[in-house]
Amino acid sequence: MDLLERLEPDERRRLLDAAERVAVAPGQVLMRRGEQGGDVFRLESGTLEVVDSRVSPPVVMMTLGPGSLVGEMTWVDRSVRTADVRAAEPGECLRWRGADLDALVEADPRLGRSLYRAVADLVVARSRVLRRIVAAGALGGGVARPADEGVEAEARRLVRGVRSRLMTAEPLARRDEQAARDETRAAMDELCAVVAQAVEHRGAEQRRALGRALAHEVHPYTIRSHLGELALDRPSGHTAEPQAVVHLHAGAAEGDGLLGEEIDAWLLDAPTSRAMRWRGDAAAEALARCAAPAEAGGPPPPVLIVDGADGPLLGRCGALLASARAVTVLETGTDALDRAREALAACGATGFRAGTLDVLELAATGRGPHQPPHGVVLVPALLDYLPDRPAAALLAAARDWLAPGGALVLGSLCETADAPLFRHVLEWPTMRRSAADLEGLVTRAGFAPFRTMRAEDGGAVLLLARRAARDRGTAGRG
């Protein structure tokens, strides 16, 4: 939000000629809360901190990078300062004394109009960003400030470089769009590495505390990405809102301005996002193979799909499902069930059944809803959110749902470098399992794995297994 970028070149030159350069040292206070305003500062290099000094110890409310303007509102209305502003590191500022700005505006009304319009633009832009942050906090809980001041200070130190890069990218976009995109991507690369290194080798409680603190520090930026907005702004409190899953599979970047769009593009190109899209394609391919008719021209065998409404699977396999002898969908919520019904109806499937799956009850009792035998059971993504014990209960239920010789298609995310960022910064925690871990779960549940498909970059795995043809199972139990 750079004032100078909003002025014409000749107006910018005149304003710069009226400024004085001021060197600042770490800890130096440029403005104090309660003082009469008037002077305006623009940070040329270094970092400034906006501090609430009413509490002890003082709280840093905001960190400002090069191009940031402070004091312009008190110059407009001559009110008192509402916070302290101090230097966090050596730097340089441009300073306009209030009286000098007044004289400049009176001498040149055209410059005055442009200057006031530029200040108004800044206020509107800041207001929009604040509204988004406040709305996210009100609807989805936002990102809670960590109670431990040491953790908060550590998080602020760790992401200082990331925030500085993102602050630089905003005004840079008006001069060099590609350079701004490159700077934003470099900032996200750095953030991903910082979060992964910060939570490594820490206990679970320490990881959660530091993860929350890191998320809080970068929340004003991540919320500008459409995926970040959908993942973080969750009125229902669910881990993965359907809209976020749909947006991730669509893969088209959106966001608030160039910065938000480029952060969104980075997230959509991250290993986790690519892995989810690959798994959707691989699941559709596996379903088509496993549900092929036993005889030429015959109908596909009965198919059971568990928790597949929010991915692209139902749409991509529409023709196959429409011709299947029977299709059953089990979803973990009634909203998802409605979406599954709509998707199946849209692709022409008429003989389908739908029901809900209570994962908590399944984990507690080991019993799933009774189903007739199916030729194929597909569980594309539910294991992402189930620890081993409920996952084992789900596989035991899937074994009951399969006819002897039937095929199980099971997907899982694997560990990737960006997993800590998704888990902590986007608040999208998932279970990550290797192919060996998944094969072990399936084998212990009484299945015989026969094919393992892996994403090219190793971010996901899809396992195909069969229930033994002579296995009587426990069909009367469920």
pLDDT category at 354 given cuts 50, 70, 90 is confident
d(CA 337, CA 305): 11
3 state SS for 412-463 = EECCCCCHHHHHHHCCCCCCCCCHHHHHHHHHHCCEEEEEEEECCCCCEEEE
More confident residue, 5 or 413: 413
pLDDT tens-place string over residues 100-125: 888 888 888 888 888 888 887 777 66
More confident residue, 144 or 441: 441
Mean pLDDT of 405-422: 94
Domains and CATH numbers, the chain: 4-138 (2.60.120.10), 149-269 (no CATH), 273-467 (3.40.50.150)
pLDDT tens-place string over residues 24-71: 999 899 988 888 878 889 999 988 888 877 766 667 777 788 888 888
pLDDT tens-place string over residues 202-258: 888 888 889 888 988 898 889 889 998 888 765 444 445 678 888 998 999 999 889
Cα separations in angstroms, 160 against 25, 46, 258, 331: 18, 11, 21, 43
% residues pLDDT > 70 (the chain): 87
For residue 72, pLDDT over 70 is answered with yes
Q: What's the pLDDT at 208?
A: 86
Q: What's the pLDDT at 174?
A: 74
pLDDT category at 145 given cuts 50, 70, 90 is very low
What lies within 8 Å, CB to CB, of 9 at 6+ separation is: none
d(CA 335, CA 343): 13
More confident residue, 471 or 331: 331
User: Residue 49, by phi and psi: left (phi above 0), alpha (psi -120 to 50) or beta?
Assistant: beta
More confident residue, 140 or 43: 43
Q: What's the pLDDT at 277?
A: 93
For the ranges 143-147, 244-248, 277-281, 349-353, the lowest mean pLDDT is seen at 143-147
Q: Which secondary structure element, helix H or strand E, spans residue 50, and what is its range? A: strand 48-52
Q: What's the pLDDT at 140?
A: 39
Cα separations in angstroms, 252 against 269, 354, 416: 10, 31, 22
Mean pLDDT of 389-412: 91
Mean pLDDT of 420-426: 92
Q: What's the pLDDT at 129?
A: 57
Among 35-39, 160-164, 290-294, name the most confident range. 160-164
Describe the strand order of the beta sheet including 48-52 as a list of residue ranges: 29-31, 84-87, 48-52, 59-64
Q: What's the pLDDT at 278?
A: 94
Q: What's the pLDDT at 270?
A: 96
Own/partner pairs for 344-350, CB < 8 Å, 24+ apart?
Answer: 344/314, 346/315, 346/318, 347/314, 347/315, 347/317, 347/318, 347/319, 347/321, 347/322, 348/318, 348/319, 348/322, 349/318, 349/321, 349/322, 349/324, 350/322
Both structure tokens of 198:
């910060």
pLDDT tens-place string over residues 149-160: 688 889 989 998
Mean pLDDT of 9-23: 89
For the ranges 229-238, 329-338, 367-376, 384-393, the lowest mean pLDDT is seen at 229-238
For residue 357, pLDDT over 70 is answered with yes
Both structure tokens of 136:
């996210």
More confident residue, 296 or 99: 99
Answer whether 358's CB lies under 8 Å from 366's CB: no
Mean pLDDT of 296-303: 75
Mean pLDDT over each residue of the chain, to the nearest integer? 83
Q: What's the pLDDT at 297?
A: 63
pLDDT category at 469 given cuts 50, 70, 90 is low
More confident residue, 408 or 300: 408
